[in-house]
Structure 1
Amino acid sequence: MSKMKIAIIGTRGIPNHYGGFEQFAEYLSVGLVKQGHHVTVYNSHKHPYQKSEWNSVKIIHCNDPEHKYGTVGQFIYDFNCIMDTRKKNYDIILQLGYTSSSIWGWLLPRKKSIVTTNMDGLEWKRTKFSKPIQFFLKYAEKLGVKYSDHLIADSVGIQEHIRNKYGKESDYIPYGSHLFEKCNEEILEEYNVVSYNYNMLIARLEPENSIETILDGVVLSKLEVPILVIGNHETKFGEFLKNKFKSNKNICFLGGIYDINVLNNLRYYSNLYFHGHTVGGTNPSLLEAMGSNSLICANDNIFNKSILGSDAFYFKDQKDVASYIKDIKKNENLKLLDNNSIKIKTTYSWEVIIKQYLNHFKSIIIKKQK
């Protein structure tokens, strides 16, 4: 098959300065270029990186007025990106997410390009959104399906949802990660913790991430083992949590930490790593935890179980959390750590994920040619 021309839209751009989809676009685009394909990533004009090429990936900057108009600006940015794709001759347009782009889906150049969309998580389930916004997100999801030629689900839970709700099949391709090996115990000194004698969680401080349940379990355990809570706490729910647990000195709200080396070391030397996410697909932070030798206690749901299988502990309520904190030791569960490391190597490595996307692209081009 000849070299493909691929565009990636739906992110703020590369190199990653923002989050999961941006990191994904970074790894995927570079990986595809190394395979000899022509890849263009659409960037916000406010992105810190202003050149027109990065690691042989072409970059197109589009006007992004989010700094002026807030959320409305995201819709305008996506509109500008889609309008630019109409001027080009891409073989494939990979759309990451649908939240602020699907209302413009009818403008995608589907006659000359194949549009395939990674449907992201079940955004309309997020409790931080008001009822009207949740209603809109359900509608946006429906449009995302309608205006895509092919769909990608990054978890089996999302794949099942798309099949059950829309009667559509999607290709399951998860997120990717790396194994962490550069351990540095000295990092713990800054956070006043001792190796394997503290627990932690990393998440947006939002209700659907089970943070209140986890911290209720910490209190219920009556142990003074520190738990590090990593995530921006200067939010309405963050303030609620800090106020509720202010008398518990072992609950340490650290705010957001974005240095991946620090995060990986904290995960590596923790006793228990709590993953409370209940909404979404293959969560990047969960894979990072698996690759960082974390002993994981996860919320009991299909998204987490489809990734971790029997190699984690699962909680439904604060009693479960308290029981694990009292009874579970990392050094007694090394087999689980080994199994999760093997999964990162064999199933969730970026090399494997890039190959799966490449196969997906090739297959949808062949389908169009038939």
Structure 2
Amino acid sequence: MVNVFIIGSKGIPAKYGGFETFVEYLTKRKVSEDITYHVSCLGENNDEFYYNNARCFNIKVPDVGSAKAVFYDLLSLRECIRYIKENNLTNSIVYILACRIGPFFAFYKKQLEKMGVKVFVNPDGHEWKRSKWNYWIKRYWKFSERLMVKHADLLVCDSRGIESYIQDEYRQYRPKTTFIAYGADVKESLLANDDLKLVDWYRQHQVKPFEYYLIVGRFVPENNYELMIREFMASNTKKDLVIISNVEQNAFYQQLLERTKFDLDPRIKFVGTVYDQELLKKIREQAYGYLHGHEVGGTNPSLLEALASTKINLLLDVVFNKEVGADGAVYFTKEQGSLSQLINRTDQYDQGQIGLLGKKAKNRIVSEYSWNKIVSEYERLFLES
């Protein structure tokens, strides 16, 4: 029996982002009876519970501002060590999602080594490049990443681009890496076309099925909202641009408004967030096209979901997006006119072109990014390590 302790996600049931969804599917679709999962969950108490046949343990963390995630990972790791010792577990792996605790990692790693516990790390994307962090936090992220790469037994990269970066950037440590992608579900939405939930959503936002381009993602500068909005406004399309994001009336929003004057274009529609997953899937399926401007590393879950659901996917031409989309998408650059001209062209696609592109996109997910494939590869890794 292999005991796999997963820390670094906010836990399951998944209510948040990519890592949480990953842990949800990894536990829900478990096949092997020789693996027991132990999942750290951010909680209001320190209770234990079972979900998807995984032992989940809550970690209550003091509210210490931006350092809360670091404290959470450290307290989770200490709890893993305590549990392994107390229960005399002899075949254990600790899998840490993201590189938040680098400066403290070597101390705990020595304890785990003495106990015969292997430590795997998922380095995620280029967190140190994200614009939301100030200079000092960016420096901390980069320093932390370096120390976690240095001391990890194995780095599990969900993007070949990130794996290449780790091997090149930290070659002095000779890091041991492997690639296992993130997953997506290709099942169609359970909602019917005339479901009141869907009809009301369209009515509320004055949008028509297959008459809109869609963006889904965090409302941050590195996702290139300004570029996509500016280029969309310069296009000739009569369709809307529907933006599903956690938009707040903050400095970035005001800056975007002042620079682009998108409020003067009735096609641009910020519609807030959609937490109902079946509704969101249906909105993806009925989008004419999907725009993806992410460029800060890693395999992006919203891109996989778009390829699984939307027929025309227009992606920013960076290595991470091309790795995922391959010939199942069309690409634009940051050059002025690149995206607006691409939108004008895709507007003219006939049903044959749309159908072929959609088929290629879905095939990319089925062949390379299905959850069954991802879960199988993880189970093989845990059992053979």
TM value normalised by structure 2: 0.88
Distance 1:118 1:82, change over 3 A: same
1:312 aligns with 2:323: no
Q: How much does 1:269 deviate? A: 1.1
Partner of residue 252, structure 1:
269
Q: How much does 1:32 deviate? A: 3.3
Distance 1:83 1:38, change over 3 A: same
Amino acid aligned to 1:256? T
Matches within 5 A, 1:63-102: 63-65=60-62, 68-87=63-82, 88=84, 89=89, 91-99=92-100, 101-102=101-102
* SS of residue in 2 equivalent to 1:262: helix
Deviations 1:120-157 (A, max 9, x none): 00111112222222111110110110221101110111
Q: How much does 1:222 deviate? A: 4.3
Deviations 1:87-139 (A, max 9, x none): 2135111111112x323312131332110111100111112222222111110
Matches within 5 A, 1:1-370: 3-32=1-30, 35-46=33-44, 52-65=49-62, 68-87=63-82, 88=84, 89=89, 91-99=92-100, 101-106=101-106, 107-108=108-109, 109-111=112-114, 112-167=116-171, 168-182=175-189, 184-186=192-194, 187=198, 188-234=202-248, 235-243=250-258, 244-317=261-334, 318-329=336-347, 331=351, 332-364=353-385
Q: How much does 1:258 deviate? A: 1.8
Q: How much does 1:40 deviate? A: 0.4
State the distance in 1 between where 2:339 and 2:382 align.
43
Amino acid aligned to 2:222? E
Residue pair 2:32, 2:379 contacting (<8 A) in 1 also: no
State the distance in 1 between where 2:47 and 2:338 align.
49
Q: How much does 1:63 deviate? A: 2.0
Amino acid aligned to 2:144? A
Deviations 1:176-216 (A, max 9, x none): 11113235334234432222211111111111111110101
State the distance in 2 between where 1:342 and 1:223 align.
28
Q: How much does 1:56 deviate? A: 1.3
Higher mean alpha-carbon deviation, 318-327 vs 246-255, is at 318-327
State the distance in 2 between where 1:293 and 1:220 align.
23
State the distance in 2 between where 1:18 and 1:72 align.
19
TM value normalised by structure 1: 0.91
For structure 2, which runs of at least 5 residues remain unmatched after alignment? none
Residue pair 1:162, 1:169 contacting (<8 A) in 2 also: no
Residue pair 1:232, 1:238 contacting (<8 A) in 2 also: no
Amino acid aligned to 1:228? V
How many pairs were matched up?
Answer: 358
Partner of residue 368, structure 1:
none
For structure 1, which runs of at least 5 residues remain unmatched after alignment? 365-370
Amino acid aligned to 1:110? E
Sequence identity, in percent?
30
State the distance in 2 between where 1:30 and 1:110 align.
30
Amino acid aligned to 1:184? A
State the distance in 2 between where 1:114 and 1:4 align.
11
Distance 1:30 1:36, change over 3 A: farther
* SS of residue in 2 equivalent to 1:181: coil
State the distance in 2 between where 1:257 and 1:240 align.
24
Residue pair 1:205, 1:231 contacting (<8 A) in 2 also: yes
State the distance in 1 between where 2:102 and 2:134 align.
20
